[in-house]
Amino acid sequence: MKEEESRFYALVPASGVGRRMGLAVPKQYLRLAGETVLSLTVRALHDSGIFSGILVVVSETDAWIDEETFPEGVSVVRRGGETRADTVVNGLETLSGGAVFPASGSDWVMVHDAARPFVDPADIRKLRDEVLSAGHGAILAMPMADTVKEASPDRRILATRDRKSLWRAATPQAFRLSELLSALRRGTEGVTDESSAMERTGHPVSVVPGSTLNFKITTPDDALIAEAIAESRLRKHP
């Protein structure tokens, strides 16, 4: 398949329970200005206009997904795993099986956290352009703005790191479907994101600068910030 014919699919692992949030529902179903985090996330991916299909992977026991309404081209499967990496593997296997979308191993897949609802569609298109130009995987990331300290277990500062070469990894993370699936099947211990699995197996990965609004909702403070952003956007575009 020629690069210009390459298709892109989005994979959204959404089977987490969000224990750190202490909510009655998983964080992907937290409502921001009347919409769920998951709905906002999927819409941002859809609005990029680059995907041949978007696959959302939820837990088999998910009690909330049936209340969601997604745009055309979005499919949901109940194949969540014990860990995020397991869920991603299950989603990749679903894509490669061709039962939901006509995906092939040479197609590109962008894995995106369900709890990053403010990803900029323009950044998604930048990520697409990067992988097509470079011919290998890439991730959205933000340059490190804060001074970074390395500390011992007892919190004594050991060193100050040069932040010029440091980036905060975000998502989407884009790779060839077959290559990412192969890398993850080699084992997921110590794998914190898709990029780390690809790096471990010797694949080059580039960073693409993205918006700082593309943060992951992990704590109650994150949820407060996300609510303020969503309310502000609703006022501007009611």
How do the domains of the chain map onto residue ranges?
A: 3-236
Instruction: Give the per-residue pLDDT at 18.
Output: 63
Residue with tokens 């894509």, as numbered in its chain: 95
74, pLDDT greater than 60: yes
Residue 154 tokens read as 């007892």
Indicate the pLDDT class of residue 237, thresholds 50, 70 and 90: confident
Instruction: Give the per-residue pLDDT at 2.
Output: 39
- Tell me how crowded residue 206 is: count the other CB atoms within 10 A of its CB: 16
pLDDT, averaged across the chain: 94
- Asked if 22 and 220 count as a contact pair (C-beta separation under 8 A), the reply is yes
Q: Tell me the mean pLDDT in the region 160-181.
A: 97
- Cα separation, 1 vs 5, whole angstroms: 6
- Cα separation, 50 vs 94, whole angstroms: 20
Residue closest to 11 by CA, chosen among 91, 101, 84: 91
Angle at 122 between CA 46 and CA 5, to 5 degrees: 70
3-236 has which fold?
A: Spore Coat Polysaccharide Biosynthesis Protein SpsA; Chain A (3.90.550)
**pLDDT (tens digit, 9 = 90+) per residue, 202-236?**
999 999 999 999 999 999 999 999 999 999 998 88
Q: Residue 78: CB partners within 8 Å, gap ≥ 6?
A: 58, 59, 60, 62, 65
Element (H, E) at 192: none
Q: Tell me the mean pLDDT in the region 127-153.
A: 97
Q: Tell me the mean pLDDT in the region 104-118.
A: 97
- pTM score of the predicted model: 0.94
- Asked if 13 and 78 count as a contact pair (C-beta separation under 8 A), the reply is no
Instruction: Give the per-residue pLDDT at 170.
Output: 99
Residue 162 tokens read as 């040069």
1, pLDDT greater than 60: no
